[in-house]
Structure 1
Amino acid sequence: MRNLGAAPLWSLGFRPFFLAGAGFAALAVAIWALWLYGRLPGAQPLGGMLAWHRHEMPFGFAGAVVAGFLLTAVPNWTGRPGVRGWSLIGLFAVWLVGRLAWWLPLGPTGLLLMQAPFLPLLAVLLGCDLIAAGKRENYPILLVLALLTVCQWLTLAGMASDDVGLQRRGVLAALWLIAALMSVIGGRVIPFFIQRGLNRPAASQSYPRQTQTLLVASMLVALCVAAGGNDQPRVWLAALYLLISGLHLVRLWRWHDKDLWRVPLLWSLYVAYAWLLVAAAAMALWHAGWIAQQSLATHALAVGGVGGLILAMIARVSLGHTGRPLTPSKTVVIAFGLIVLAALSRVLLVPISALGLGVSATLWCLAFALFVGRYAGWLLGPRR
């Protein structure tokens, strides 16, 4: 037990949270799909399978990967050692308990108590380092984590009170907050990765106002969703979503380099980020009354944007931080392709075929299972 805290797995936050997050992504969607097609009889989680699925994808899966990335990035930003050893084990245990709590006879209050600590603890641990280092430019990340916590409480309160509308608003608001966080992080790292990956000269402009506008607009969307403003089409919200999609389009145009399409670690990020544009544009069209199903826009964001960016990011970050060449194996390149096909199936195939959900879920599970199978040994073992 004394040596447990010194194991490579607990040396930096990306190791346990990327591995567990990717594994949970495959397992959770497999459970959801099997239940959806009537292949999973027996006990259900507290609140039912739909409530579990809605909560666990943003707060369980995405929450784990966000934690792993930030726990790895903040030490680089601040020059401080970061969370590791037994402190990291404790934080991971809080996340794991939250996943298991759904299947225990706790009742709504017990479930809330088991779920509530993770995001606030993460924010406190990150905040201590950011404040100590005076990194004020990163304080908005703490604000997003605080708002995510509120969204989680709304979601769980909706489940406890059997208020499906409140539960749904909390989940969708959280999804757009995660997109906001990925916009901020993506705006920092994607141009850097492209520049390094293609040996291009460093960009002369960082466009901080564009990033700030995108963050504020995305947070406004999340607040409107949480307040119920997204329940019915509204023209002014269409304009806000259109602004967000336009900012994403400008970014993609500035980042584009024809040679990125020959580098899997770059095109996977670029394509995944493009799904953020697609999702925002589709939401604008829904609010304008031009498309019928809001869920298609939501899943373009969830599967293509969040899922795609997470898979591409954890693949790249894990290679760099375990000391391996930035060249993914063919297995992982296949996983990049599968997640794109999963998103396309969820958005384009579902409206015309009852098999669309099953196809999308299968492709998603295969993509993350391939990542786990290829990277597990590296994440568990020492740095090269």
Structure 2
Amino acid sequence: MKSQQPRRSALFELGFRPFFLAGAVFAALVIPLWVAAWLGLTGEWQPAGGWLAWHMHEMLFGFIAAVIAGFLLTAVQNWTGVPGLSGSPLVALAAIWLFARLAWLTPLPVWLVISLDVLFLPAVTVSIARSVWIARQKRNYPVVLVLGLLALCNLVSLTGLATGDFALQRQSNLGALWLVAALVGIIGGRVIPFFTQRGLDLSGPAPSLPWLDYLLLAGSIVVALLMLSGIALQPSIGLGVVFALLGAGHLVRLLLWHHPGIWQVPLLWSLHMAYAWLVVALYAMALWNAGWLIGFSQATHLLAIGSMSGMILAMIARVSLGHTGRPLKTVPAISAAFILLNLAVPARVWLAPAWPQLGFWLAGLCWATAFALFVWYYAAILYRPRPDALPG
């Protein structure tokens, strides 16, 4: 009897493997490309819809959507006990994502770009919804709802691309941004206190306020729909109050989860810092609505870079170790990546408006280096089978 050959690759065994790696590679490449385009260094090359439309769409529906897909396609298996996508179906889903990213950057007809791009999020949503429905897991119905709304936002954005309506693209992309903020609230509310308890070996249940969780989720979805409609793009004192209340609610959560020991553990402080940027972004939106101190783009990038991208980098670093059976300890290079990503926030939000070339290049360099460090250290981890030979 022949002995079983060891697996050479585990890249398509679970969703987190291809999509964390692809999302990180994409992140490391596209921000320097965007900065170069913004500074006029890309010549006559134009992606579908122009560089600004490409940047807004692809950071959400290319980079962030890939990581969301990787995380949820993996997490839903643990939540429901229903096997997640693997093998050929996962290869097909990853190919859809990749072809759409390439299509945006090539001179293909717009209808073909749209045909490729519109498939990915509905496919992810159907896969997650199927598992949640089989398990009748009502707790995760909101996740399916937010995914479905993200797919709707992408459809509206692509409609704007097809009709040349940049305002419609902007509204739908901003709506999607705040739906991702809703997911940060949902997932962050589950994993940050849990990881903190586990990482610091604390006794007792993780602290939580379920009523606050639901209010924050509802508030984030309302804000997303107001962005999608265009209503929230005009300053409003009433909406400013909503943002301030959401900021206060998330701050309460953050204080409830805090423990001094997190600052000794990079895999923990990176998560808490990302959530803290969410609080800052919400208060910045409140200030913008009041007409004080900060611009809309600055407040938006506090959310997009500090909170969402910070949460992504922290989560993929931690989840990749846990789901590949490795010790939950990071290396100096990844600690440096966390620091660099947090430095990208002030460079983009406060330095760039005053000194554009310095601010944009510094922010882009910090961002790209952070994700390049992740790729350098984690590529082999995500590609290779688990050292304990277990599936996953």
- TM-score, with structure 2 as normaliser: 0.95
Contact 1:6 1:85 in 2 (8 A): no
Cα distance, 1:63 vs structure 2: 0.1
Q: Deviations over 1:294-325 (max 9, x none)?
A: 10000000010111000000000001111111
Give the length in aligned residue pairs: 381
Cα distance, 1:6 vs structure 2: 8.9
Equivalent residue number for residue 379 of structure 1:
382
Cα distance, 1:289 vs structure 2: 1.2
Q: Separation in 2 of the partners of 1:361 and 1:84? A: 34
1:366 matched to 2:369? The reply is yes
Cα distance, 1:232 vs structure 2: 1.2
Q: Which of 276, 296, 304 is matched with 2:298 structurally?
A: 296
Percent of aligned pairs sharing the same letter = 51
Q: Separation in 1 of the partners of 2:30 and 2:176? A: 18
* Comparing 310-319 and 96-105, the one that deviates more: 96-105
Cα distance, 1:205 vs structure 2: 4.7
Equivalent residue number for residue 145 of structure 1:
147
Equivalent residue number for residue 188 of structure 1:
190
Q: Deviations over 1:207-230 (max 9, x none)?
A: 221111111000000000111112
Equivalent residue number for residue 203 of structure 1:
205
* Comparing 302-311 and 352-361, the one that deviates more: 352-361
* Comparing 251-260 and 98-107, the one that deviates more: 98-107
Q: Separation in 2 of the partners of 1:261 and 1:373? A: 25
Q: Separation in 2 of the partners of 1:204 and 1:237? A: 32
1:281 matched to 2:286? The reply is no
Q: Report the AA paired with residue 121 of structure 1.
A: A
Equivalent residue number for residue 390 of structure 2:
none
Tell me the SS of whatever aligns to 1:102: helix
Q: Report the AA paired with residue 166 of structure 1.
A: L
Q: Deviations over 1:121-177 (max 9, x none)?
A: 101111111100111110111110111111112222222222221111111111110
Contact 1:332 1:370 in 2 (8 A): yes
Q: Report the AA paired with residue 377 of structure 1.
A: A
Q: Deviations over 1:3-38 (max 9, x none)?
A: 9x9940011110000000010011111110111222
Contact 1:148 1:177 in 2 (8 A): yes
* Comparing 259-268 and 100-109, the one that deviates more: 100-109
Q: Separation in 1 of the partners of 2:8 and 2:173? A: 36
Q: Which of 322, 329, 332 is matched with 2:331 structurally?
A: 329
Cα distance, 1:42 vs structure 2: 4.0
Q: Deviations over 1:312-345 (max 9, x none)?
A: 0000000111111111110000000000000121
Equivalent residue number for residue 308 of structure 1:
310
Tell me the SS of whatever aligns to 2:11: helix
Equivalent residue number for residue 18 of structure 1:
20
Cα distance, 1:82 vs structure 2: 1.0
Q: Where does structure 1 differ by over 6 angstroms across 4 or more consecutive aligned residues? A: none
Cα distance, 1:292 vs structure 2: 4.4
Q: Report the AA paired with residue 363 of structure 2.
A: S
Q: Separation in 2 of the partners of 1:292 and 1:254? A: 28
Equivalent residue number for residue 245 of structure 2:
243
Question: 1:104/1:351 Cα in 2 relative to 1: closer, same or farther (>3 Å)?
Answer: closer
* Comparing 148-157 and 125-134, the one that deviates more: 148-157
Question: 1:204/1:342 Cα in 2 relative to 1: closer, same or farther (>3 Å)?
Answer: closer
Equivalent residue number for residue 45 of structure 2:
43
Tell me the SS of whatever aligns to 2:233: coil
Equivalent residue number for residue 167 of structure 1:
169
Cα distance, 1:112 vs structure 2: 1.5
- TM-score, with structure 1 as normaliser: 0.96
1:68 matched to 2:67? The reply is no
Tell me the SS of whatever aligns to 1:137: helix
Structure 2: which 5+ runs fail to align?
Answer: 388-392
Question: 1:262/1:228 Cα in 2 relative to 1: closer, same or farther (>3 Å)?
Answer: same
Q: Which of 109, 131, 144 is matched with 1:107 structurally?
A: 109
* Comparing 155-164 and 365-374, the one that deviates more: 155-164
Query: How is 1:191-270 mapped onto 2 (pairs within 5 angstroms)?
Result: 191-203=193-205, 205-270=207-272
Q: Report the AA paired with residue 325 of structure 1.
A: P
Q: Deviations over 1:223-260 (max 9, x none)?
A: 00111112210111111111110111001110110111
Cα distance, 1:103 vs structure 2: 3.0
Structure 1: which 5+ runs fail to align?
Answer: none
Equivalent residue number for residue 89 of structure 1:
91
Contact 2:47 2:107 in 1 (8 A): no
Q: Separation in 1 of the partners of 2:8 and 2:245? A: 47
Question: 1:106/1:351 Cα in 2 relative to 1: closer, same or farther (>3 Å)?
Answer: closer
Q: Deviations over 1:185-207 (max 9, x none)?
A: 00000000000000101326532
Contact 1:183 1:215 in 2 (8 A): yes
Contact 2:207 2:257 in 1 (8 A): no
Tell me the SS of whatever aligns to 1:351: helix
Cα distance, 1:182 vs structure 2: 1.1
Q: Separation in 1 of the partners of 2:41 and 2:100? A: 25
Q: Report the AA paired with residue 362 of structure 2.
A: V
